[in-house]
Copies of this chain bind each other. A is one copy, B any other.
């Protein structure tokens, strides 16, 4: 009987996964190759599928199925596919049902309107143009949080509910602990780098790089890392992302700057990391809610690993410098591995998060987290955001913010209502180093393989230990399995960053 109930549940989850996979393809198409005038009807198509998905995933039939499967689930091993599918789907379902449909629609509308307002406010560099939209969004978010906390007493504070959208089980206090450690170590490193800015010359990666050559080159890199034409695509977009309409249909995107090598090169390696994660999920989990990454931080740990720990490490350039020399013979004629290693690792404070380096990037995130937490605890109001922003930039990076466009208005996230999301970027860096310590212990020849452009062993390790599980484990369960500690720990990242600063700028 429970076998049949499970089969029915699985059928419903398969349908939901199919709609989700289609939405991911529609979004990919919209942001890469869709003719511009297709935008309005595409928005309608996506809204309809989103509505159908929400209807299907709020049905009371699902509640009956989950209730009928409790005993069945308890008889299965915790990490069996079946038990995990039931467990994770039930968790998603509960959370989804707690917020009334009307409120979800209001949040989606606020997000759409907020996006439009943000585009205009940023163009005018005028925070007041965005302010009423943010106030509306925050009020709606607080309403949704109230619905969830009324029914679920596991949260310590409002903001935890938002964090949990992206990082199940994470608390604001825990993020604060990790970020305080990271901040305390990073701010002095930034000061040291600022005083010795002329130690590192990055002129090698600035110059003339024709786009058609960049396209060929980054595709060559991606293929060396593990991109294959039978299961991947690489396309151009304005704000790069990775998307997976299926485990064997992975679509990564990048963008090209004609005068700067880094965005396409490291952007492609970054998105490759996201894509490889979803491509590595066990085929047994396809068409289930488990066929994604464990969390946003885990996802980001994978993209940052390929972008930074591989891509900005010394060994990689043994393989990669000849690629650049062949692609741009003039620019790289006399460059050696140390030159390119230093050029791609220039550090220093700057105003814009997406252009920030490995060291200062985390501070951009930490200040956003602190502001969001204060906003949802009531310590500050939407109107206070610009001042809070400017003060943190001054304090952490030693810079003055000249205007709102280069300050509080630079990111789209708040306009879209994505509060709670930013933290996962820096937590991804934290996790990537926690994993990296373990990987380096278990794969003693990693540097040699990387220098030879061989990534099969690393890919195998990641698939075996992380990717295959999809969302089977919470981030903390997965951390515990892989590194033997169920907590985020900034120490490995701090050690890594300090060593890099020592290496590049002197101790």
Contact = CB atoms under 8 A, between A and B. Distances in A.
Contacts of A48: 14-15, 18-19
A36 interface: yes
Nearest to A16: B48
A249 B18 contact: no
A14 B33 CA distance: 24
A21 interface: yes
A35 B232 contact: yes
A250 B45 contact: no
A279 to B, nearest CB: 10
A483 to B, nearest CB: 32
Interface string A267-299: 000000000000000000011000000000000
Nearest to A11: B48
Contact of A249 (B38, B233, B247): B38
A383 interface: no
Interface centre among A51, A233, A246 (most CB of B within 10 A): A246
Contacts of A18: 44-45, 48-49
A229 B52 contact: no
A76 interface: no
Given A35-B248, A35-B250, A41-B245, A52 B15 contact: yes
A45 B22 contact: yes
Given A35-B229, A248-B37, A14 B44 contact: yes
A29 B25 contact: yes
A42 interface: yes
A26 interface: yes
B245 A38 contact: yes
A22 B26 contact: yes
A34 interface: yes
B230 A36 contact: yes
Contact of A49 (B22, B42, B232): B22
Given A33-B233, A36-B230, A52-B52, A248 B44 contact: no
Contacts of A249: 34-35, 37-38, 41-42
A35 B233 contact: yes
B247 A35 contact: no
Contacts of A33: 33, 233
A61 to B, nearest CB: 14
A231 interface: yes
Interface string A49-60: 101100000000
A417 B33 CA distance: 33
Contacts of A250: 35
Contacts of A49: 18-19, 22
12 contacts: A14-B48, A15-B51, A19-B48, A22-B45, A33-B33, A35-B229, A35-B231, A35-B248, A35-B250, A41-B286, A41-B287, A52-B52
